[in-house]
Amino acid sequence: MKKTASFAILHFSVAFTITYLLTGSLVIGGAVALVEPMVNTVVFYFHEKVWKRIEAKNLAANAVVQA
C-alpha cells in the first residue's frame, strides 16, 4: 500500500504540473490533478493484484512442469 500511496503523490504532482502548463489555470490543473490520479491509483492497485495472481499461476505451472 505504501508503493501505491507514493505513486499517487507523484502522479498528482505530474498531473497538476502538466495540466497547469497546458491550460494556465490553477482550478483546472487542481481538478484534473485530483480526479485523474485517484482513478489511476485505483486502477494501478488492481493492476498489481492481477499481475501478482498471474505471476503466482506461472510459478505454480512451472513447479508442476519441473516436478
CA dihedral 46, 52, 55, 60 (to 10 degrees): -120
pLDDT for res 8 = 81
pLDDT, position 57: 93
pLDDT at 25: 98
The reported pTM is: 0.55
Tell me: the pLDDT tens digits for 4-58?
889 888 888 998 999 999 999 999 999 999 898 788 889 999 999 999 999 999 9
- For the chain, the domains span 2-66
Classify 8 in phi/psi space as left (phi over 0), alpha (psi -120 to 50) or beta: alpha
Query: What pLDDT, on a 0 to 100 scale, did the predictor assign at position 66?
Result: 78
Calculate Rg over the CA atoms of the chain. Answer: 18
C-beta of residue 36 within 8 angstroms of C-beta of residue 16: no
